[in-house]
A and B are shown apart, each in its own frame.
Chain A
Amino acid sequence: MIKFFILANIQGKTRLSQYYEHIPFQDRPTMESDIIRKCLSRTSLQCSFLEYKEDMKFVYRRYASLFFIVGVDSTENELAIYELINNYVEILDATFEDVCELDIMFNIDKAHFILDEMISNGNIVEISKQQILEVINSICKSADGTTASNQPIKLR
């Protein structure tokens, strides 16, 4: 079961976080920074899996300046989660055309919507890129019918 899904940049700042298991709000920032620090301390040759606390391990994957970190319980298949991250990034990529950190920041709502389609109750419910994009596009239509993509602003 997936316990949380966190996006953070290499400065250690959280860009997106979604919890599937209840963790008190006040405990989250410390835990996030702790995990991010652990990820940062590892080299690319090392395993992308880390044991963390009791019955909790996390799988991380780095894309440019962003870390995608997924916390799972001990029964979860780490490689499958590792690939799930990639799947998520592929979908983001398809949504924002060449996704970057700022895309996610400006479209945090969409990033959440995609995640909600993909993972529910800590389980993977949908992985098909086409299916998800279809739903996202139909949700994020502006009132006048045009697809609202905030994409045009490219800061970098």
Chain B
Amino acid sequence: MNSNFNLTNLLKLNENSKLQIPSWIKVLQSKVLDLDFYELVKNISESKSREEETRIVQNEIMKLKKAFSQHDQSKEKKRECLIRMIYCHMLGFNVEFGHVNALNMTQDSEIWNKRTGYLALSLCLPDRHELLIMVVNSIQKGLGYDKSNYLEVSSALTALCKLIDKETIPAFLQKVLTLVQHPIPLVRKKAVTALHRFYQLQGYDDIIDSQTEDKLRIALCDKDPSVMAASVSVFLDISKTHSHTLKDLVPSFVGILKQVSEGRLPVVYVYHHIHHPWLQINLLKLLSNLGAQDQKSSEHMYQVVLLTMQQGIKVKNNVSFAILYEAIKCLTSIHPNIPLIETAAKYIHVLLPKLHNNLRYFGIKALTSIVKVSPKSVAQFQMEVIECLESSDDTLKRKSLDLLYRMTNQNNIIPICAKLIDHIRQTKDKSLRMELVSREMELMEKYSPSDYWYIDTMVTLLSIPATHMNQQSAFNLIRLLAEGNQDETEDTKIKLHAVDNFMEKIPQLQQSSNNPLYLLPDLFIKIMTWVLSEYSYLLPSQVPDQGGLSTHEYIINYFCDLLEKEHYNSDTKSWILIAITKLTSHLGKYLPQVSIITNKYTQSRSVQCQQRALELQEISRIPSLMTEIFPQDSYCEDLDLDSVFKKLDQFTSTAISNGAKEYIPIHKRKSTPLIDLQSIQQLTIQPKELNFEYPPPPSIFQQQSYQSTPTTSLPLVPISTTTTTGNPQDDNNRQMVSIDQNTQAMVVSPKVESIIPKSTKIAWTKKGFVGDKPNTVTQTPVIPNNNSNISEQQPQSSSTTQQPTTQQTTTQQPQKKIVDPEKEKLAKQLFSGLGGESVETTNSSETVPKKIKKHQTGVTTQPKVNTNETPLNNQFKDPLIDLSPPLTSTTTTTPTSNSSQLLVEIENTPTKTAITSPTTKSNNSILDDIDNNEILSLSFNTNITSSNINKNILDSDINTVTSPIISSPIRTAISTSTSTLSSQIEPGQDFSIENLNISPVVSKYMSKDDDEVEYQQVFKDKSIVVGIAKIISYLEPQNTKCKTTILLISNLQSTSIGNLKITIPTNNDNLVINITDIDSILSLDDNGTNLSLQSELPAKLTISVILSVKLKKIGFNMSIPITLSNVTNALSIPYEVSDFHWDQDDEANDLDSFNSISSQYQFERSIDIQSFHTVDSRNQLLFNRFIKGLHLKIIHSNEQEYYLVHTLSTSTNHYQCLYKFTHNNQDNTTTFLIKSNDKNLSDVLYRYAFKLYNLEQLKNK
């Protein structure tokens, strides 16, 4: 070593002193690298630390920069500098300064220098460097075919492979293609490699044309094995994506493989006694790509693959095993030949004994590929696989787990999952753990043998720290528990099992939680708190071994402990707080420890926790409220917002009566000033609060409704005013009404005066009023109450949005006013879980039945519309029973004086005798347990077949219009109709709307014979029965209206109702509501929203209000929230899209246009209906109801399929919906397919269909 040092020192000295260098020293110089390089290598190899290395390299870079700036250096020196530069680059330093020197070096005539230049460029040049274009230019110069120096060409080609990019390929393609036929094999090989590179960069379509393919095929037949091997790897790449183009080459590849494995290659290609093993492996890969799913090609291969395997196995070294594995893999990927695979499986015996883990690894890999095709072949290696599983080698273990995962089926799922969990616990590799967890989840979803097992495994999995488990899949557990199966007792068992499972964990968790290293995953805590808070009521009320501590308290204590820990994130903590809230509600008392912890969390930095803690604090103040807010087992139940609103209404009304300003919806605020000004000008007296109210209903709409129903509305307006004017004391009220008249009239006709006289001149009702006068007088105290009552309606609509949802679900549609529980339930089913999107399409049809069932047995969330005595079972009525009885006109009845004056509207109606169907009652008792709102939203279509009589009505109506002075025959009619009703009501007995014949009252508003009326009873208590009748006109064109009569009937005929006040909102997101007509006994205030009863509602009497409702847009849960002031509830009249008339003028009128329109529409919903108990009658019934309910037009039908359509136009939009109804006789399933151009519509109809389906289901039971 020392001598060398001296020598080079001497050399350097000589250079410096410019002495003549002896030739022997020159030789030495070429042999011994320059001192700089020597020092660099020596320093780097001796450097002990990264810092030292950095210093060395930085120093070196300085030297190199200096060296590159000197131009008089020898080429050897320059090359050496480039090598030093490569070093610097390799150690991670920027060597941009040397790029140009490397480029210059590529132009050197010396091949070594040239090659070093290319090498330096290919290593050091970053992607897409601007110098590349120069490099490309340089390479191109080197690619001349005629160059005698083949080394130069091959160097250029080598550099080309590394340096070319996509854009420069065209410059080379032709040259490279010619070089494929160069006389020197080395060049041919490099040219094929270059083509391979082009293929990698450009892809099949841009590179492989007939010319290149020809060249590649020629190369495949090249007599030089290297060239052939190079072309095989190109074909291998092609076969990955375009195997079909190479099918004709299968015999060639088979032939080549046969020759190679038989040892026909020159001896230089023998590696460890095997002929070109890498070529064999490539060929086997190629064959497996070509033979996949291709029996014909595969049959060519079996023999040669077997031969390769046998040849390989003779040698028993690493390369031969590599070939063996590749052959087995090939056999399993091509069209399977089971006997051959079983033979191959036997060879695995060679690999699996404990020779080296590398071989066992390959054994497991081979088994993994075999298990797909022939699972039984794997069985013989059980023990070996188990050994590998227990190996300490991560890689081997991982492969073995992969094998386990792939061989899982229903029978072995339990042990395999246990094994996987073991490994999840053990492994330290984060990515492996995550992979195992996801696989475990996948297996559990796929093969879970029972729900119990699923719960246990899930809980175990959750409890493992740092699994980074997908939150969504963890929530599957919640979904499983909450939704349950069909079987109620089984569900309870499962729930109990889960609760037990978590309960058992508490003591051990308490112990282990002392250890700060052992953290429970947040997700586990979330799921645990949820399960325990929801279902702990299933447990015995006291915990054993805890000194009589109640279960709830025990759990709460534990949760409080958890909250004390610092390491849970705020999201988890808010879950715990929610759980404590629920448990506190169930327990019914606010424990001191909870109070302490809650107080702490009201100061929490996390807003979420703070919110939860404050909620808990607030709720705990009213213990009676707690069980209502957090009922037991209510996760899948509907949120009953009605009752919440009710309370809020009270709250707001009290607040307003105490002087608070009421809420005005934003959309009302804008237009207020303008119209308000007008009304202020015209008003003489007006209650203050009403200034904020929206003025009369949109007059244009009203006018339209007048036009469309001219017979009904006009005469009624004066009547209502007359009743007020007829009462001299009631100045206030009269003013309000007359102003209302004015504002309406302003639009209808500018002459206010012409209307006002009209309203005052109706003296005839005054006459009729005489008998009732005493009552009218006593009615005055109503007015002071007005303001507070009016306000009730407004806050109610707003309170929906302000209402914090008590559970984790958020209200999906903000436009909901009052949530129809039925639809709410459906929505929950569809988006059940906490955002499980998949449910929508997959589970919905199956989950429906059990949801219904739950709801029936559900504990608390029954909407409390009807809080008193009798369940409203009577309402549920077989739709087939016709309500309208044969008409018998009663000409003479007892005219009760006080009633006849009031019922001006009813007076014209022909009387019909009521038929109460005694059968219905007994039928309905089955359905007692169905909650009210479900029934309320039912719709019955009752045909009223009273053509002749209706004509009479029409006539008499016109009569009324023309001459407001009433003639005596009509007055007789008043009395008769009222008495008809009163004769139907037995004094002192309950009745319901369904048992009454109300047709006389309603039929007046029916304009045409074909109108249908639907009756519903909305409310009933001791004093009043509220019913609605919806009149649906089919024959009026372009009418998306529905007229609704609200009927108020005093119940029991014993008490009078005073101070009745009705608030009808005229503005709704989905609906336009106009009060078309009201009973004379009512008066409408100037806002057009509040109706008040002038006097008491006498016993036996009906009042009716008729509204015309027009569809503004299509939405869910359309309903009018009506407030009746002596009724605590806000009543809601539900609407369905089916209540509106459907325009029958459809574009789709034959099957072809149906299909073409159907393909355009993108909003698609489909429902599969199964398991009807009876075969077709039910489906048929359902189908009929669907058609009838929605008034569908049948376009085409055959035995199994129906094509239906309907169109709906609102003022702004045109919606069309197409239906396909397919019945499958074999498995008795029916599929609805709904397609629409509007998402909302398709959703609405989807729900509608579901509702019908549910009803059918219920009836089936």
Mark A residues whose CB is within 8 Å of B: 13-14, 16-18, 22, 25-26, 28-29, 45-51, 53, 75, 77-80, 82-84, 87, 101-102, 105-106, 108-109, 112-113, 116-117, 120-121, 123-131, 135, 138-144, 146, 148-150, 152-153, 155
A148 to chain B, nearest CB (A): 6
A120 x B1 contact (CB < 8 A): no
Nearest CB of chain B from residue A136's CB, rounded to whole Å: 10
Q: Does B877 contact A (CB under 8 A)?
A: no
Contact with A79, one of B89, B197, B318 (Cβ below 8 angstroms): B318
Complexed CA–CA distance, A69 and B902 (Å):
101
Contact B115 A139 (CB under 8 A): yes
Contact B319 A79 (CB under 8 A): yes
Contact of A120 among B4, B193, B318 (CB under 8 A): B193
Once the chains bind, are B119 and A128 in contact (CB under 8 Å)?
A: no
Query: Are A139 and B86 CB-contacts (below 8 A) given A22-B127, A79-B321, A150-B31?
Result: no
B residues less than 8 Å from A123 (CB atoms): 193, 196, 233
> In this assembly, does B272 line the interface, its C-beta being within 8 Å of a C-beta of chain A?
yes
Nearest CB in chain B to that of A75: its residue: B285
Q: Is the CB of A79 within 8 A of B119?
A: no
Q: Assess the B318–A83 pair: CB atoms within 8 A.
A: yes
Question: Does A131 contact B395, Cβ atoms closer than 8 Å?
Answer: no
B281 near A: Cβ within 8 Å? Answer: yes
Closest B residue to A138 by beta carbon equals B151
Q: Is residue B652 within 8 Å, beta carbon to beta carbon, of the partner chain?
A: no
**Which of chain B's residues have a CB closer than 8 A to the CB of A129?**
268
CB < 8 Å neighbour of B116 from A18, A105, A109, A124: A109
Q: Contact check: which of B92, B155, B362, B398 meets A29 at CB < 8 Å? A: B92
Contact A125 B193 (CB under 8 A): yes
| Alpha-carbon distance A151/B764, docked complex (angstroms) | 131
17 CB-based A-B contacts, threshold 8 Å: A25-B126, A46-B393, A46-B394, A50-B394, A79-B319, A79-B362, A80-B278, A80-B319, A83-B277, A108-B83, A109-B116, A123-B193, A124-B278, A124-B282, A139-B112, A155-B1, A155-B42
Contact check, A142 vs B230: say whether CB atoms are below 8 A apart: no
* Inter-chain contact A80/B189, CB cutoff 8 Å: no
Task: Return the 6 tightest CB-CB contacts between A and B, nearest first.
Answer: A79-B322, A29-B92, A47-B395, A80-B322, A46-B393, A123-B233
A126 & B197 in contact (Cβ 8 Å cutoff): no
Looking at the complex, which of B353-361, B488-496, B970-978, B1175-1183 is the stretch in contact with chain A?
B353-361
Instruction: Check if B91 is an interface residue, CB within 8 A of chain A.
Output: yes
Please, how many angstroms separate the alpha-carbon atoms of A129 and B372 in the complex?
39
Asked whether A108 lies within 8 Å of B361 as measured between CB atoms, the reply is no
Contact B90 A77, beta carbon cutoff 8 Å: no
Q: Chain B nearest CB: distance from A28 CB in Å? A: 7
**Which range holds the interface residue count of chain B?**
35 or more
The interface of chain B, by Cβ under 8 A from chain A, is: 1, 4, 27, 30-33, 37-38, 41-42, 44-45, 53, 75, 79, 83, 86-87, 89-92, 94, 110-112, 115-116, 119, 123, 126-127, 151, 154-155, 158, 161, 186, 189-190, 193, 196-197, 200, 226, 229-230, 233, 268-269, 271-272, 276-278, 281-282, 285, 318-319, 321-322, 325-326, 356-358, 361-362, 392-396, 398, 431-432
Q: Name A25's closest neighbour in chain B (CB-CB).
A: B126
Pairwise interchain contact A102-B45, C-beta atoms closer than 8 A:
yes
- Residues from chain A with Cβ under 8 Å of B1 in the complex: 155
Min CB distance B326 to A, Å, is 6
CB-based nearest A residue for B196: A121
Chain A neighbourhood of B357, CB < 8 A? 45-47
State in angstroms the CA–CA spacing of A109 and B116 once bound together: 7
Q: Find out whether the CB atom of A14 lies under 8 angstroms from the CB atom of B90.
A: yes
Q: Which residues of the partner chain B approach A121 to less than 8 Å between Cβ atoms?
A: 161, 193, 196-197, 200
Q: CA of A57 to CA of B285 in the docked complex: distance in angstroms? A: 19
Do residues B362 and A153 form an inter-chain contact, with CB atoms below 8 A? no
Question: Which residues of A have CB within 8 Å of B358?
Answer: 47-49, 78-79, 82
Q: Tell whether, in the assembled complex, residue A128 and residue B269 are in contact, meaning their CB atoms are under 8 Å apart.
A: yes
Inside 8 A of B4's CB, which chain A residues have their CB? 153
Cα distance, A28 to B53, chains bound together (Å)? 16
Q: How far is the CA of A106 from the CA of B38 in the complex (A)?
A: 8
CB distance from B30 to the nearest CB of A (A): 5
Known: A47-B358, A79-B362, A83-B319. A105 touches B395 (CB 8 A): no
A25-B126, A79-B322 known; A112-B119 Cβ under 8 A:
yes
Question: Does A126 contact B116, Cβ atoms closer than 8 Å?
Answer: no
- Residues in A with CB closer than 8 Å to B87 are 108
The docked-state distance in angstroms from the alpha carbon of A144 to that of B638 is 95
Which partner residue on chain B sits nearest A151 by CB separation? B31
Residues of A within 8 A of B392 (CB): 46
A116 to chain B, nearest CB (A): 5
Inter-chain contacts of B86 with A (CB < 8 A): 108-109, 112
Further pairs besides A45-B393, A109-B83, A109-B119: 12, Cβ < 8 Å: A26-B92, A49-B361, A77-B326, A83-B318, A108-B86, A109-B86, A112-B123, A123-B196, A124-B282, A127-B271, A148-B30, A155-B1
Chain A residues lying within 8 Å of B91, measured Cβ to Cβ, are 14, 29
Chain B neighbourhood of A18, CB < 8 A: 123
A30 (CB) vs chain B CBs: closest residue: B92
Q: Chain A residues with Cβ under 8 A from B277's Cβ?
A: 80, 83
Are A113 and B322 in contact, CB atoms less than 8 angstroms apart? no
Q: How far does the alpha carbon of A29 sit from the alpha carbon of B268 in the complex, in Å? A: 37
Contact of A13 among B30, B31, B53 (CB under 8 A): B53
B774 smallest CB distance to A (angstroms) = 90
In the complex, the chain A residue whose C-beta lies closest to that of B126 is: A25
Separation of A140 and B116 alpha carbons in the complex (Å): 10
Q: How far is the CA of A78 from the CA of B126 in the complex (A)?
A: 29
Q: Which single member of B45, B233, B322 contacts A124 (CB below 8 Å)? A: B233
A22 to B233, CA, bound (A): 20
Closest to A14 in B: B90
Residue of A nearest to B95 (CB): A25
In Å, the complex CA distance between A102 and B158 comes to 26
Determine whether the beta carbon of A51 is less than 8 Å from that of B32: no
Q: Inside 8 A of A153's CB, which chain B residues have their CB?
A: 4, 32, 38
A126 engages B226 (CB within 8 Å): yes
The answer for the CA separation of A37 and B802 in the assembled complex, in Å, is: 59
Q: In the assembly, what is the distance between CA of A20 and CA of B161, in Å?
A: 10
B396 pairs with A79, CB closer than 8 A: no
Q: Measured between C-beta atoms, what is the minimum distance from B80 to chain A in Å?
A: 9
- Complex Cα distance, B47 from A105, in Å, reads 14
Contacts of A17 on B, CB cut-off 8 Å?
90
Contact of B112 among A78, A128, A141 (CB under 8 A): A141
A78: chain B residues at CB < 8 Å are: 322, 358, 361-362
Are A131 and B268 interface neighbours, CB within 8 A? yes
Contact A150 B32 (CB under 8 A): yes
B323 to chain A, nearest CB (A): 8
Tell me whether B92 and A25 are in contact (CB under 8 A).
yes
Given A120-B158, A124-B278, residue A150 in contact with residue B112 (CB < 8 A): no
Give A84 to B37 CA distance when docked, in angstroms. 30
Q: Give the docked Cα–Cα distance between A128 and B111 (Å).
A: 22
**CA–CA, A117 to B431, complex, Å?**
36
B42 closest partner in A (C-beta)? A155
How many angstroms between the C-alpha atoms of A133 and B91 in the bound complex?
A: 28
Q: Could you say which residues of chain B place their CB within 8 Å of the CB of A112? A: 86, 119, 123
With beta carbons under 8 angstroms apart, the residue of B89, B110, B158, B321 that contacts A116 is B158
Q: Are A101 and B281 closer than 8 Å at their CB atoms?
A: no
- Closest CB-CB distance, B668 to chain A, in whole Å? 57
Which residues of chain B come closer than 8 Å to A105, judged between CB atoms?
41, 44-45
CB distance from A5 to the nearest CB of B (A): 12
Contacts of B112 in A (CB 8 A): 139-142, 148
What is the CA–CA distance of A13 and B1022 in the complex, to the nearest angstrom?
93
